[in-house]
């Protein structure tokens, strides 16, 4: 990779890395990110997004920096304007079976393979490249704050997972999943102590393990 792909200078996310790859014939380019590595319950979610260079939504940024309302708006904008969007999940049972790192890789592979357009190259948030991806890849530390394709993927992964946790809350209101999305808040730990774990808890994680 060119040295510019490896720069970690933070600023507004842009489309520079994607344009470099496209101009060198390595397109389409997808961004990949995940959501939900740290919760005690629910799946880990990953998304892969191939943005249309001529129709990039305004306001794309790391999903963690956006309000829920802004994430929902951008989620809709990305689904409407992107060339392709793929989502992959790894369940709590899969996380327990293979560990969270390998389950995250699994969700990322599923997201990449769910794209309706096969990418020639993927840019991935973080340090690691999942094995067995169907194309070339580059990992980018803080990629969701640097790269618009990864930022778009972070939004899709986060909103997808949050919506799933809201649905789980309807089945198991005693845990309050719609409030904490499965993260280890005091209220969630108290519910675990009172009710024990559900089928959607990660039994190898913290309070759920105890």
The position carrying tokens 């990305």 is: 78
Instruction: Give the phi and the psi of residue 51 in degrees, each rounded to 5.
Output: -75, 150
Nearest to 137 by CA among 45, 33, 51, 38: 33
pLDDT of residue 40: 97
Closest-CA residue to 165 (of 183, 173, 180, 177): 177
Give mean pLDDT in consecutive 10-residue pieces for the chain, a chain of 210 residues.
Answer: 48 90 96 97 98 96 94 98 98 97 98 97 97 95 96 98 97 96 96 94 82
Domain at 13-209, CATH homologous superfamily = Ribonuclease H-like superfamily/Ribonuclease H (3.30.420.10)
Give the 3-state DSSP-derived string for 51-107, with helices as H, strands as E and coil as C.
Answer: CCCCCCCCCCCCHHHCCHHHHHHHHHHHHHHCCEEEEEEECHHHHHHHCHHHHHHHH
Q: What single-letter DSSP state applies at residue 137? A: E
Q: According to the model, what pLDDT value does residue 12 have?
A: 80
pLDDT of residue 206: 74
Domain boundaries, given as residue ranges, for the chain: 13-209
Reading the block at residue 112, the tokens are 């990449």
Whether 137 contacts 108, CB under 8 Å = no
> Which pair of tokens denotes residue 121?
């190259």
Yes or no: say if 147 and 123 are a contact pair by the CB < 8 Å rule.
yes
């Amino acid at each position: 990779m060119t040295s510019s792909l490896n720069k970690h200078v933070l600023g507004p996310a842009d489309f520079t890395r994607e344009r470099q790859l496209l101009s060198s014939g390595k397109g389409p380019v997808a961004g990949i990110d995940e959501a939900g590595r740290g919760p005690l319950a629910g799946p880990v979610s990953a998304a892969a997004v191939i943005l249309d260079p001529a129709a990039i939504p305004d306001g794309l940024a790391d999903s963690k920096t956006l309000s829920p309302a802004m994430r929902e708006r951008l989620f809709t904008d990305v689904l409407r304007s992107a060339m392709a969007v793929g989502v992959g999940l790894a369940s709590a049972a899969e996380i327990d079976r293979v560990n969270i790192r390998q389950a995250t890789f699994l969700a990322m592979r599923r997201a990449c393979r769910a794209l309706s357009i096969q990418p020639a190259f993927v840019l991935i948030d973080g340090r690691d490249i999942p094995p067995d991806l169907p194309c070339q890849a580059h990992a980018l530390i803080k990629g969701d704050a640097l790269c618009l394709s990864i930022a778009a993927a972070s939004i899709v992964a986060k909103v997808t997972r949050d919506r799933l946790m809201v649905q789980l809350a309807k089945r198991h209101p005693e845990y309050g999943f719609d409030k904490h999305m499965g993260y280890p808040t005091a209220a969630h730990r108290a519910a675990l102590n009172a009710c024990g774990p559900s089928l959607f808890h990660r039994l190898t994680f913290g309070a759920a393990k105890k």
